[in-house]
Amino acid sequence: MSPVKVFGSAPFTNVVRVLLCLEEVGADYEIVDVDFGDREHKGPDHLARNPFGQVPAFQDGDLMLFESRAICRYILRKHRATDEANLLREGDPSESAVVDAWLDVEALRYEPSVHAVFVQRRVVPALGGEPDERVIAESIARLRETLAVYEARLEATRGYLAGGEVSLADLSHFPYTRYFMEMPYAVPVFGAYPRVTAWWERLLTRPSVRKVAAMMSGGEG
Amino acid sequence: MSPVKVFGSAPFTNVVRVLLCLEEVGADYEIVDVDFGDREHKGPDHLARNPFGQVPAFQDGDLMLFESRAICRYILRKHRATDEANLLREGDPSESAVVDAWLDVEALRYEPSVHAVFVQRRVVPALGGEPDERVIAESIARLRETLAVYEARLEATRGYLAGGEVSLADLSHFPYTRYFMEMPYAVPVFGAYPRVTAWWERLLTRPSVRKVAAMMSGGEG
């Protein structure tokens, strides 16, 4: 059986999310680079894979998918026979619903705050602009509110966001948090929440995370 | 068996999404109002239901959930034995992945554009402020880009976003679109996309949508 294909490369946060899941389940996969410099992402071949002209796209035989969290769900369901692939908890309706809830918190609440800081600190200067400090301050304030809820949640579960064991909801935080941790806000913001910090450090010890982190840095892939 | 409880009332878009799913599957449910005027949403009872102090929260026996799309998934899975509850397509891994992808498009791309217009046109004036026309123009431009992709997609599927039959991905668009359609932008924006307009009109004929629309207007519930 030919391996699945991921279109898009490791530095992109939404590609990273997919790679993490593939590594978690031990799937064979092939990375197909999409040349943004050449505007390949807006060309007809890639728009047929992802109609919004973004990465990742994902191919498994006749199935072509986009939206990173949807791709992650598909990968984890396909491999759910293994213990490692129980990251959606779909055997138990209540547990899987709790994973869904915290995955939506990541997508709809956590990521927008961190993304806004990333854009102001990394993207705007790269384009020759000045970061908007008001946007940064508001985003950091929203992030702190979210992390305060995480801190209480992690105290209650004594482990991870959706319960005592790791789930997709936790792993989905990795891509943007990795970049956030390289910025000067990381220590003051995360340092105020010891259980969140311990949770992040636990995620960093996972083999999937270590491998994909190296790919983000250009060490592999 | 006592009915499930929805905390939060029908005018709130994220509550509407949950009510639509309950109506689609024909479940018994009880609506428990949360008094925002009295700041009940930030009180300890409600924070125990939803740690972010928002609506909806959802209770089914011992299970307490938040995040509207996670609640919808739970409801649809619980009732998936009925034909009407096949709105996630979870019997087929490829089809369910396509539903997941278009549900994420709604949550991460469509709703932020419409939400931004809603905030500027409805919330800001209600608080005594002036709408930011630049934010409105940028959001409308992003919405048009999204609808252009929807138009091509609906031409290809000849029905709904995730295929020939309705899914949660379509229904999840209802709450904010209902409010958007009351605004002056609705006709010029949606009118440019005839298949999108036909899709919206088809959604409006569903009994679940008609019933919940009446609840949003204060006609019931």
How many whole angstroms separate alpha carbon A162 and alpha carbon A146? 15
- What pLDDT score was predicted for residue A1? 67
Q: Which residues contact A114 (CB under 8 A, 6 or more apart)?
A: A139, A143, A176, A177, A179, A180
- In this prediction, residues B109-121 reach a mean pLDDT of 96
Mean pLDDT of chain A: 94
Mean pLDDT of B177-183: 94
pLDDT of residue B219: 53
Q: What percent of chain A has pLDDT over 90?
A: 86
- Among the partner-chain residues B78, B108, B149, the one whose CB lies closest to the CB of A93 is B78
Cross-chain CB nearest to B97 (options A63, A97, A98)? A63
Q: CA-CA distance, A80 to A75, in Å (whole number)? A: 8
Q: Which of B62, B67, B98 sits opposite A105 (nearest CB)?
A: B67
Phi and psi dihedrals of A128, rounded to 5? Answer: 90, 10
Q: For residue A206, what pLDDT band results from cuts at 50, 70 and 90?
A: very high
pLDDT at A82: 66
Q: Which residue has the tokens 């929260």?
A: B57
Q: What type of residue sits at position A115?
A: H
- Detail the DSSP E strand segments found in chain B: 4-7, 29-32, 57-60, 63-66
Model confidence at B189, pLDDT cuts 50, 70, 90, reads very high
Residues A73, B108: C-beta atoms closer than 8 Å: no
Mean of pLDDT values over A62-77:
97
Closest chain B residue to A103, measured at CA: B70
pLDDT reported for residue A20 = 98
How much is the pLDDT for B217? 86
A6 beta partners: A31, A58
Look at the domain B93-209 and name its fold. Answer: Glutathione S-transferase Yfyf (Class Pi); Chain A, domain 2 (1.20.1050)
Full DSSP string of chain A: -PPEEEES-TTSHHHHHHHHHHHHHT--EEEE---TTTTGGGSHHHHHH-TTS-S-EEEETTEEEESHHHHHHHHHHHTTTSGGG-TT-TTSHHHHHHHHHHHHHIIIIIHHHHHHHHIIIIIHHHTT----HHHHHHHHHHHHHHHHHHHHHHHHHTSBTTBSS--HHHHTTHHHHHHHTTSTTHHHHHHT-HHHHHHHHHHHTSHHHHHHHHHHTTS--
**How close is the nearest chain B Cα to the Cα of A93, in Å?**
7
A100 to B69: CB separation less than 8 angstroms, yes or no: yes
- CA of A156 vs chain B CAs: smallest distance (Å): 12
Grade residue A220 by pLDDT with cuts at 50, 70 and 90.
very low
Which residues are registered as beta bridge partners of B66? B57
Q: What is the mean pLDDT of residues A141-150?
A: 98
The CA–CA distances, whole Å, from A37 to A16, A77, A118 equal: 20, 34, 21
- At B184 the pLDDT is 87
B175 φ, ψ (degrees, to nearest 5)? -55, -55
Q: Is pLDDT at B193 greater than 90 in this prediction?
A: yes
A4-85 fold? Glutaredoxin (3.40.30)
Find residue A60's DSSP bridge partners. A63
- Asked whether residue B13 carries a pLDDT value surpassing 70, the answer given is yes
Contact B97/A51, CB-based, under 8 Å?
A: no
| Whether the Cβ atoms of residue A210 and residue A204 lie closer than 8 Å to each other | yes
**Residue B220 pLDDT greater than 60, yes or no:** no
Residue of B nearest to A109 (CA): B52
ipTM over the 0.90 cut-off: yes
Domain boundaries, chain B: 4-85, 93-209
Contact A74 B67 (CB under 8 A): no
Residue B84 CA to residue A10 CA, distance in Å, equals 40
Q: What residues of chain A lie within 8 A of the CB of B67, using their CB? A: 100-102, 104-105, 108
pLDDT of residue A221: 40
What integer is the mean pLDDT of A5-32? 96
Read off the pLDDT band of A41 (50, 70, 90): very high
- Token pair, residue A192, equals 């105020």
Q: Which residues of A touch B71 (CB under 8 A)?
A: 97, 101
Residue contact B70–A149, C-beta within 8 A? no
What string of H, E and C letters represents the secondary structure of A114-152? HHHHHHHHHHHHHCCCCCCHHHHHHHHHHHHHHHHHHHH
Q: Is a pLDDT exceeding 90 seen at residue B2? A: no
- Is residue A32 within 8 Å of A15, Cβ to Cβ? no
Q: Which whole number is the average pLDDT over A143-153?
A: 98
Give tens-digit pLDDT for B48-104: 999 999 999 999 999 999 999 999 999 999 998 666 668 999 889 999 999 999 999
In this prediction, residue B221 carries a pLDDT of 41
